Structures are given as structure tokens and as C-alpha cells.
Chains A and B, each alone.
Chain A
Amino acid sequence: MPDMKADRDWIEDFRVAYEHWLGEAMPLLEQEDYQAAFRFYPFPEFETVPWTPVTKPLDGSRLAMVTTAGAYRKGVDAPFRHGPEGDVSLRRIPGNTALAELDVSHSHMPEQIAREDMNTVFPLDLLRELVAAGALGSLAGTHFSIMGYATRAADIAETIAPEIAEAMTQDRVDLALLVPV
């Protein structure tokens, strides 16, 4: 992958604004009044769109998936923590993981749907079918899971995102499929 980076200009200002927001919002978060709390959340504003052209055909491309559904391996990895600020952490999901080995821990989505069928948020079975059919080149050795409710966005940008990008580069991933929840 070329050395392209999203703009970082927002991070410093965000950190200052975030601490101010958190002080004001914490009582609302503790009451689970998220609508009120996020009405004045300092959502980052980006100047640019990061862009890497797709140069390979799908049937010659290697794909990794990133889900924000809070998926993790039962009995192997810790569930994501639930709390007012969510959880800034990463779970690596080996490419040979069976979906039955996964559970989800996400405080802001209907977890029962994913538990009934993990393909609704992390369609690994379907991607494997496409590889077997020759429509997609290959799947990465590792996929990635975070929990979408993580209010410290700058921490995601400065710790989790680079870790994922580095791992994908090492794994020679061509396509990253981000599945937000």
C-alpha cells in the first residue's frame, strides 16, 4: 500500500474539546441519555478524503475485514467493556475462525441479531464462499474487530487504526472492508 494518510489536523483540537465535552456529558451518559449527550459531541471534521485506487481485479485481491460490532472469540478474548466512554481496544480474529466461535459485546446495537447469525455484521462465511467460487482472490490471515461505541475518537485514530493498517500491510492486504454498526 502507498504511504497515504488521512489528515491529522483534527486530533489536537479534538482532544481539548473532548475533555470539555466529557465533563458536561458524563451525567447524561450515566443516565443513558445519549441523544442529549451527543448533541454537542465534538465530531471530528476532516478536510480530505484518503484515497488509494483499486488496481487489481477482485479475483486477484486479498481482503481483510474490520467490524465495529464488538465481535470477539468466546473463551479466548475478553469481551469489550461497556461504560460511558465505551472501549478503545482491538480484537484480532484469525482468518480460520469459525463464526460459531464468536460472540459480540456492543452496548449500542441489538446483539441478539449477530448472535443469531454473525454474517449480519461479519460476513466471513459469505466471503469464504466467494473465494471458493473464484470471485475473490483470498482472505487475510487476520481480521479485526472493535466496538463502535468508543467516544475517544483520537485514541482510535492514533492507536488502533495504525495497528490495523500495519498488520494489513504486513499481510499484503489489497482491500479493507470496514463494516460499521
Chain B
Amino acid sequence: MQVVKPPRWTSVRFPRGTMFGEPGNRDKQRRVVQDVLEAFRTIREPGGHMELAYRWEAPPVMYRGKSLREGPNA
């Protein structure tokens, strides 16, 4: 994302294609969305970034016969 240079951005270590958390985990998804919206207010500098501390808490996501892993810290 540093290459893309978005105005402000958040990151989370969920596997690709699961940006708001495990399917059906409504409480956790809600917290992620709330944190993301909060970043609109708290990030004050162009390119500012906030890393969310959530971790994937379900079996690995299968894709093309492989398991997608959590991403690294940004």
C-alpha cells in the first residue's frame, strides 16, 4: 500500500478476500468496521496508516488447493 499511496489507510492481517473478518462473526466484523471508520477521524496526515490488531480465528481459507495465510504486519 505504501506504493499505492492512498490518502489514509488501515490494514489487518486477515487472509486475502476476508477483509472484515471471519464469515458470520458479526461482532468482530462490527468492531473492524468501527475501527476503520474511526481512522477517518484519527489519521490526520496524508498517507497516514493504522494497523488493526485483529487476528484470524477460523480454519485457513482454502484457495486453488492452497491455504491462504494471514498477511504480515504492514
Measuring CB to CB, which residues of chain A are less than 8 angstroms from any residue of chain B? 43, 45-46, 48-52, 54, 57-58, 61, 63, 69, 106, 109-111, 113-114, 116-117, 119-121, 123, 126-127, 129-130, 135-136, 175, 177-181
The answer to whether B17 touches A49, judged by C-beta atoms less than 8 angstroms apart, is: no
Per DSSP, are chain A's interface residues mostly helix, strand or loop, or mixed? loop
The answer to whether B37 touches A120, judged by C-beta atoms less than 8 angstroms apart, is: no
| In the complex, per-residue mask of B1-40: 1 if CB is within 8 Å of any chain A CB, else 0 | 0011111000000011111111110100110011011101
Do A113 and B61 contact each other (CB < 8 Å), given the known contacts A54-B41, A58-B41, A121-B19? yes
Q: Which residue of A lies closest to B25 (CB)?
A: A117
Q: Which residue of A lies closest to B43 (CB)?
A: A54
The answer to whether A46 touches B46, judged by C-beta atoms less than 8 angstroms apart, is: no
Per DSSP, are chain B's interface residues mostly helix, strand or loop, or mixed? loop
B residues near A175, Cβ cutoff 8 Å: 37, 40
The answer to whether A123 touches B33, judged by C-beta atoms less than 8 angstroms apart, is: yes
26 A-B pairs (CB sep. < 8 Å): A46-B5, A48-B5, A49-B7, A49-B47, A51-B7, A52-B7, A54-B40, A54-B41, A109-B16, A110-B18, A111-B17, A113-B61, A120-B20, A120-B21, A120-B22, A120-B23, A121-B18, A123-B29, A126-B26, A126-B33, A127-B33, A129-B30, A130-B37, A177-B37, A181-B16, A181-B19
Query: Whole-angstrom distance between the alpha carbons of A69 and B68 in the complex?
Result: 16
A residues near B26, Cβ cutoff 8 Å: 119, 126
Query: Whole-angstrom distance between the alpha carbons of A54 and B40 in the complex?
Result: 7
Please give the distance in Å from A82's CB to the nearest CB on chain B.
Answer: 13
Q: For chains A and B in complex, what number of residue pairs have CB atoms within 8 angstroms?
A: 91
Query: Whole-angstrom distance between the alpha carbons of A120 and B41 in the complex?
Result: 23
Please give the distance in Å from A172's CB to the nearest CB on chain B.
Answer: 16
Query: Whole-angstrom distance between the alpha carbons of A154 and B49 in the complex?
Result: 25
The answer to whether A45 touches B3, judged by C-beta atoms less than 8 angstroms apart, is: yes
Contact of A110 among B17, B20, B47 (CB under 8 A): B17
Contact of A43 among B3, B20, B41 (CB under 8 A): B3
Please give the distance in Å from B71's CB to the nearest CB on chain A.
Answer: 12
Contact of B24 among A57, A117, A129 (CB under 8 A): A117
Please give the distance in Å from A47's CB to the nearest CB on chain B.
Answer: 9
Contact of A51 among B19, B29, B34, B46 (CB under 8 A): B46
Query: Whole-angstrom distance between the alpha carbons of A69 and B20 in the complex?
Result: 12
